Chain A
């Protein structure tokens, strides 16, 4: 009773914040069909996808979108409010805020996608093995519990304080802070999947451990992992902005939304646009990622869709 109630509560918690319950165990093939149905039923997910595609396009096409060098300093034109010449105004060094915001999309998207990818891969690998190998489970999960009790932003701050500011280090620090959550999700899925008859059948047929993990377990956790990855992506973008904002993230010579806002920190009363434009872009992008994630979760778990 105690285990199940607690597990239920944690499962529910994980579900709301990030992860879907596993519902796709029985039928995997119609997943794509479910996505289509869900997108039709949840136009917001489609909207999220569209916004995200736009942001990616903006990031890739940045040099051709009427931007100038985002680092070009022009002291004579500093702190100009938004106008026809400077759509988003200029900052205290006279740099064009529009160009900086457009180029800043690159940092947010690269960090978000890279962290989502790395933490999902590493977390899935660790989770698969610990979920299946019992003696490892106790040790690894205690370590993960320990890491999870350090709030992820704090852990990332500590790691960034140790190293030089660079985008690679930001990605590494946030990835490390996000991994325990992925491990926990994958492990709980593996624990329920390992009891399935087809896994027993595979064992009986003499399939090796790697074979079972890769051929029989992994395909069944791909869908919930994908949803988890979108939420990790959104949260990584926010963490990157927070790190840059407090001066422990992307180096100041690279324009990122967090950096632009950090520079506007002391100028809020005279140049609010320094905060507003990157702030809107960041919120919009994270919102798009979250809407997409919600839509995917609903597609994968119709039972949950009505509740959350």
Chain B
């Protein structure tokens, strides 16, 4: 068990090292000379050489990577080319809306998707089942920003129930904060709900055909107890896995959702950075998002032990 956890942590470190290497190589391969950008239009070749030496840009690739990695391990993600502020500070300023949006979506999506999947599996073949499956295929096919605009047109422009765009801080009132997150969360969460519901249904159907389910029903347990207590518990591992894997969808979707709803989060920071070609920010965002993704999946893996006592590592 301890050995497994150590092994799993080690492989996580290897994966993160690969991510760091890929991300650094991206910056290294960037066309254009950062020193020339920093030096400005009137700089002489001598100036550019001096900046090169100061930033260590004339050293070999691996030395530069080592120095960058060392800084990274000390929490230094570099400096934005455009604003000249540390990337960590810029990301720190923008993190609240993104965390609020993704957490809201995550919680609501899980609470909606798992019951949908369970009901669809329990009534497999019924119209309810077919409705859930159709919704799931649709959810995979409608891109998040198209859905976002449909929601805005319906609930904000036509019905005028919810704000079109924008974000309010939690400090300025919980209701206002929540009101601005409802549509973004629905837009972002739909594909995630589709994914989890589909996996829940498949995993439940797999478990429901097992002998111990028939035994549980035969000994007189209420159908609800069989479904939740026996079936769902045993179907949990694939569902947990897909929740972890699906975080990637939430992260990618958050960038687009923030753009549509003008939420001042990390996604907006990224899109602005793309337009200004501010590579250190793009690099920092990829590193942080990837780290979150890897760590969540590590947590999911470790949770298997708790979910299924039969697993002994």
Contacts and interface: CB of A to CB of B under 8 A. Distances in A.
Interface in A144-170: 145-147, 149-155, 157-163
Interface string B271-313: 1011101010011011001100110010001001000101111
A293 to B, nearest CB: 10
A175 interface: no
A236 B192 CA distance: 18
Contact of A246 (B199, B255, B285, B286): B255
A246 B279 contact: no
Contact of B149 (A6, A151, A242, A279): A279
Interface in A7-21: 8-10, 12-13, 15-17
Given A154-B289, A161-B277, A307-B206, A146 B145 contact: no
A294 to B, nearest CB: 7
B182 interface: no
B26 A290 contact: no
Contacts, number: 186
A1 B311 contact: yes
A275 B152 CA distance: 11
B99 interface: no
B105 to A, nearest CB: 15
A150 B247 CA distance: 11
Nearest to B144: A242
B70 to A, nearest CB: 19
A143 interface: yes
B248 A151 contact: yes
Contact of A9 (B19, B137, B153, B241): B241
Interface in B239-259: 240-242, 245, 248-249, 251-252, 255-256, 259
Given A1-B312, A157-B282, A247-B271, A10 B241 contact: yes
Interface string A273-300: 0011001101100110011001000000
B15 interface: yes
Interface centre among A13, A163, A282 (most CB of B within 10 A): A13
A246 B259 contact: yes
Contact of A283 (B141, B157, B245, B256): B141
A261 B293 CA distance: 29
Given A149-B290, A159-B26, A282 B202 contact: no
A82 to B, nearest CB: 15
A275 B149 contact: yes
A157 B274 contact: yes
Nearest to B281: A161
Given A146-B19, A287-B138, A13 B256 contact: no
B146 A279 contact: yes
B170 interface: no
Interface string B13-24: 011111101110
A269 B165 CA distance: 11
B6 interface: no
Interface string B126-152: 000000000001101111111001101
13 contacts: A5-B237, A5-B308, A13-B242, A142-B15, A143-B18, A146-B22, A149-B297, A150-B19, A154-B285, A162-B29, A272-B157, A287-B141, A287-B142
Interface of B: 4, 11, 14-19, 21-23, 26, 29-31, 137-138, 140-146, 149-150, 152-153, 157, 164, 195, 198-199, 201-203, 205-206, 237-238, 240-242, 245, 248-249, 251-252, 255-256, 259-260, 270-271, 273-275, 277, 279, 282-283, 285-286, 289-290, 293-294, 297, 301, 304, 308, 310-313
Given A13-B245, A162-B31, 16 more contacts: A5-B304, A8-B237, A8-B238, A12-B241, A146-B14, A146-B15, A149-B290, A157-B282, A159-B26, A161-B282, A265-B259, A282-B143, A286-B141, A287-B138, A307-B202, A307-B205
The 7 closest A-B pairs by CB, nearest first: A146-B18, A153-B252, A287-B141, A279-B146, A9-B241, A151-B248, A12-B238
Interface of A: 1-2, 5-6, 8-10, 12-13, 15-17, 142-143, 145-147, 149-155, 157-163, 234, 238, 241-242, 245-248, 261, 265, 268-269, 272, 275-276, 279-280, 282-283, 286-287, 290-291, 294, 306-308
